[in-house]
Amino acid sequence: MTSEKTIMGTLPQKELLKMYSEYVSSPKAAFFKDLGLGFVQGERQGIYIKSLEGLRKNQPPLEMIDCRTSGGVFNLGHRHPAIIQALKEGIDAGLDIGDHHAISEQRALLAKKLANLMPPGITKTMFCVGGGEAIDLAIKLARGITGRAKVISATGAYHGVTGLALAAGDEKFKAPFSWHPPDFIQVPFDDIDVLSRVMDDQVACVIFETIPATAGILMASRGYFVQVRELCDKHGTIMIADEVQAGLGRTGHMWGIYGGLYDDEEVIPDIIVLAKGMSAGYYPIATCSYKPFIEKVFDQDPFLHISTTGGAELGCHVCSTMLDIISAPEFLDHVKEVGSQMAGGLNNLASQYSSIVTDVRGRGLMWGVEFINEKYGAGYTLKMIENGVFADYCGNRENTIKLMPPLIITAEEIEFLLSRLEKAMAALPLPAGTTGE
């Protein structure tokens, strides 16, 4: 008689934390321990994840609603049956990584599906492993097709930790590595006047996250991206939309830039970058999709950019199934409905705890809750986890909590989530001389 092999919970949580510290990252282990979040992730299903054990001795394992979703990786939650089936089908059919020098059936099929879903005119796709690589490629394409070097991005931005992506990101991530390549310029997000002043005919591209997440779930004013598009057209500059977190149905529209921020604003960039949710949580895949004229960069040498494991054929098959699910009109309508429900609940909480909450902002199922200072960001993170919600604060705006639950969350689960968020907020100390009302 055979028994199923145990691959989760192989050692006590305490031993695993010590092993992680010793062999993976002692600074990261110490950070979580100091914050009071020293646990190892265990079982996961649907919108929930569990820890192997409790935060403290003799406590039961935590069960938490996943509102981090790793920045939208788990848009369909955990262990979605259709995704698992697609993964098994691909393996059984003999799909693997494939060879980046060969013509690929799976890449062709997925690229066509993406072209049919993209804003009009964006019909070409190149495949990468992760978002940083895809951003690097987008900037390379912009520089290649324009023959220019300047890159404009937003202060507080996060586009990844690889070369060009890191250069386009916030100083917090660049400074420790002395990474300040020339020709990278940053401007305040949602300030068209400053952007207008720095734009000239030597700018290769403007790259913005549609909803800057690490910067604090910032929301562009109505008309901002329309004006960005106009400036890019005026100067012959490539417009890149980083939709790694705001795309793929997160706003209740397929694309944040194309109707997701404001229903009547369908802005068409030249390049859209996707990652995170493309994998459905199982097989890393990222994409850089662009208008056909940009492909001229590769006329003389189609191998100027390659990615050995980017666009793995097995990943393409899984991704195709994910796109079928989230692009269905009824699915996007569901995101809009529960997103509106979540917006109402969060704004009620902000009114109830106005002494510590200064703002609530977002779209669909992508929300930021801003507190009066950074201590509340860290404190609320711990209280949320203690009360069954897995989420954290924004890396470049530590007073703001980012909430991105799986897009499959139901109305009943939203109500339960809001009740947990309220309980966590009630556990926070209030400023001297104030009340929760």
Residues 261 and 143 in one domain: yes
Residues 124 and 265 in one domain: yes
Residues 49 and 150 in one domain: no
Q: pLDDT band for position 5 (50/70/90)? A: confident
- 237 domain-assigned: yes
Find residue 368's DSSP bridge partners: 361, 402
Structure letter (DSSP) for residue 184: E
Residues 33 and 152 in one domain: no
**Spatial separation of the C-alpha atoms in residues 6 and 300, rounded to whole Å:** 52
Q: pLDDT band for position 4 (50/70/90)? A: low
Instruction: Note the pLDDT of residue 1.
Output: 42
**What does the pLDDT look like over 295-315, one tens digit per residue?**
999 999 999 999 999 999 999
**What does the pLDDT look like over 213-227, one tens digit per residue?**
999 999 999 999 999
- Burial (CB < 10 A; 0-12, 13-18, 19+), residue 103, is exposed
Q: In what order do the strands lie in the sheet with 366-371?
A: 357-363, 366-371, 397-403, 392-394
- 14 domain-assigned: no
Residues 189 and 301 in one domain: yes
The answer on pLDDT for 170 being more than 90 is yes
- 240 domain-assigned: yes
- 236 domain-assigned: yes
The answer on pLDDT for 436 being more than 80 is no
Judged by DSSP in three states, 1 sits in coil
Residues 170 and 256 in one domain: yes
Residues 30 and 178 in one domain: no
- Rounded to the nearest integer, the mean pLDDT of the chain is 95
- Burial (CB < 10 A; 0-12, 13-18, 19+), residue 208, is buried
Closest of 399, 395, 401 to residue 173, by C-alpha? 395
Instruction: Note the pLDDT of residue 434.
Output: 65
**Spatial separation of the C-alpha atoms in residues 205 and 171, rounded to whole Å:** 19
- 13 domain-assigned: no
The answer on pLDDT for 55 being more than 70 is yes
Between strands 392-394 and 389-390, the pairing is unpaired
Residues 197 and 301 in one domain: yes
Q: What percent of the chain has pLDDT over 90?
A: 92
Give the mean model confidence (pLDDT) for residues 179-205. 97
**What does the pLDDT look like over 22-32, one tens digit per residue?**
999 999 999 88
Closest of 281, 244, 249 to residue 407, by C-alpha? 249
Q: pLDDT band for position 63 (50/70/90)? A: very high
Closest of 166, 139, 136, 169 to residue 151, by C-alpha? 139
Domain span at residue 367?
337-390
CA R_g for the chain = 22
Domain boundary at 306, 326, 346, which?
A: 326
Q: Total domain count for the chain? A: 3
- 7 domain-assigned: no
How wide is the angle at C-alpha 157 spanned by C-alphas 212 and 209, nearest 5°?
A: 40
